[in-house]
Chain A
Amino acid sequence: MMNYVPDPPHPTAPDAVHADDLTVVRGPRTVLHHLRFTVPRGQITGLLGPSGCGKSTLMRSVVGTQAKVTGTLDVLGRPAGHPTLRSRIGYVTQAPSVYDDLTVRQNLDYFAAILDPGRASAERRHDVARVLTDVDLTSHADALAGNLSGGQRGRVSLAVALLGTPELLVLDEPTVGLDPVLRRDLWNLFHDLAARGATLLVSSHVMDEAERCHRLLLMREGRILADDTPAALRTRTGTDTVEAAFLRLVDQANEADAVDRTKETTR
């Protein structure tokens, strides 16, 4: 049985994601420290930072699969993890999460049925054909996912997230291990999706991809170093590339940490 709750318009929440004092604890460690950021609608927001800085934890919190999240985290006008959000968010984990012992089409058919079992099968088939075209895997539709290359399996995982045209796409390192041509194609697809009205939150540790985002969240050790457009970041730091800007910000943060530590030891 399903309850259809009509969604109210979101006059007060124009941002797709709004976080305030967001803190996440994993075991003994605090992974995210009092984060405050927004992800605007209809844009590509890049989440960048070295591996282990908390990018995946932040994304899992937005999707609602992360435990021990405190503070405010609103996603599409609802608190993160709200049941109504489950069909409105597409999520791609770092490792491709598809069934290796099913074909690409069988994978998509199953997830499409889970997403919206009430839909007519013709409509569902159309949706599956659309996402296969989007990730350029139509010619591999009847291959077992387990027999595909790593990059292809990653695209199957992405295709699953595109089913049902979600309003928000959360993509954890979607281009890792892909060749330059595929990477360019995927970024073209991301811009296409944004043009169609979707909001994208894409993580990466490849800085040249940052230049292709509308906005950037730069992270380091569970804290947000910067939340700005690529151009504004370059101007603010007086650098030519986002990579140089990021390194400048990291150095500044390291110096600040060092000063803090000397203060503590001299106290």
Chain B
Amino acid sequence: MSTTTTPAAPAAPAVPTGALNAARTTATAARVLRQLRHDPRTIALLILIPCLMLILLRYVFDASPRTFDNIGASLLGIFPLITMFLVTSIATLRERTSGTLERLLAMPLGKADLIAGYALAFGGLAIVQSALATGLAVWLLGLDVTGSPWLLLLVALLDALLGTALGLFVSAFAASEFQAVQFMPAVIFPQLLLCGLFTPRSDMHPALEAISDVLPMSYAVDGMNEVLHHTDMTATFVRDVLIVAGCAVLVLALGAATLRRRTA
């Protein structure tokens, strides 16, 4: 093993503060995307499955385009949430079990840098996924949106961030991939049932309606429906968007709290 004779110059100590370091965040995002690039099948599945599901849905409701409009718009918000939830929870779990998380936290990397890096990478992926799904639904499958498709995309992106945040958070409570995958039905399914996709929330048992009022996916679907039925940005839409974004930030902060530099 040959060695070079570099003098041991002490490196300038970099002190990470609580604030976000842009260079470390983008380096982390680039690394996450680079990992995905070595896994083209996952990328293909992420991008194609929502499109295929929308095509399927369109012809399932071949006779009632109104139903396709309603469910299709809601699904445009739900797909990115579910896929990003799954991808992030597994990716973070792998980071924890492979020892790379411990290594990173022993290095001058802020917890916020790591989380923002993941959010940036998966957020970018979600934009591609949602843009394709929205474009397909609106222009090829004839999804009838009164408002701007850009607003649909905005809600989809926020949903993806919420999914990333939830995935990051639950991965702290999963000791294996098996457990992580089981968190999907535990965290996502109740929201799916209560979000108003199957029946308007006002028709539910009052107790369930109250629960659905505090679940973020309800607002994601509400927001999509606002865009579907109104030309302009309504006050309800703004409220929905702010709630989904607020939940995403809150859960990301909770996720950051689960990252410990010192562990037993």
Contact = CB atoms under 8 A, between A and B. Distances in A.
A26 B264 contact: yes
Given A67-B263, A99-B98, A102-B35, A160 B103 contact: yes
Interface in A1-51: 1-5, 7, 26-27
Interface in A44-64: 63-64
B109 interface: yes
A81 B11 contact: no
B11 A198 contact: no
B206 interface: no
Interface of A: 1-5, 7, 26-27, 63-69, 81, 83-84, 86-89, 91, 93, 95-102, 106, 110-111, 113-118, 130, 133-136, 144, 160, 164-167, 185-186, 188-189, 192, 196-198
A111 B17 CA distance: 18
A89 B106 contact: yes
Contacts of A84: 13, 15
27 contacts: A4-B15, A64-B262, A65-B102, A65-B261, A67-B260, A67-B264, A68-B264, A81-B262, A84-B15, A87-B12, A87-B14, A93-B99, A97-B98, A99-B98, A106-B34, A113-B24, A113-B27, A114-B24, A114-B104, A115-B108, A117-B21, A117-B24, A117-B27, A134-B4, A165-B11, A167-B10, A185-B1
Nearest to B36: A101
Contacts of A98: 98, 100
B8 interface: yes
B38 A97 contact: no
B74 to A, nearest CB: 34
A136 B8 CA distance: 20
Nearest to A188: B1
B187 to A, nearest CB: 26
B3 interface: yes
Contacts of A116: 11-12, 14, 108
B185 interface: no
Contacts of B21: 1-2, 117
B99 A91 contact: no
A87 B11 contact: yes
Contact of B1 (A66, A135, A196): A135
B100 A133 contact: no
A97 B103 contact: yes
Most buried by B among A84, A95, A97: A97
A83 B1 contact: no
Nearest to B109: A114
Sort A-B residue pairs by CB-CB distance and give the 3 closest, nearest first: A97-B99, A117-B23, A197-B8
A170 B109 CA distance: 19
A126 B14 CA distance: 19
A91 to B, nearest CB: 5
A148 to B, nearest CB: 14
B190 interface: no
A7 B13 contact: yes
A83 B108 contact: yes
A2 B15 contact: yes
A110 B261 contact: no
B261 A102 contact: no
A88 B10 contact: yes
B105 interface: yes
B12 A106 contact: no
B35 A99 contact: yes
A93 B11 CA distance: 22
Nearest to A144: B38
Interface in B210-264: 260-264
A67 B164 CA distance: 28
A197 B38 CA distance: 39
A102 B38 contact: yes
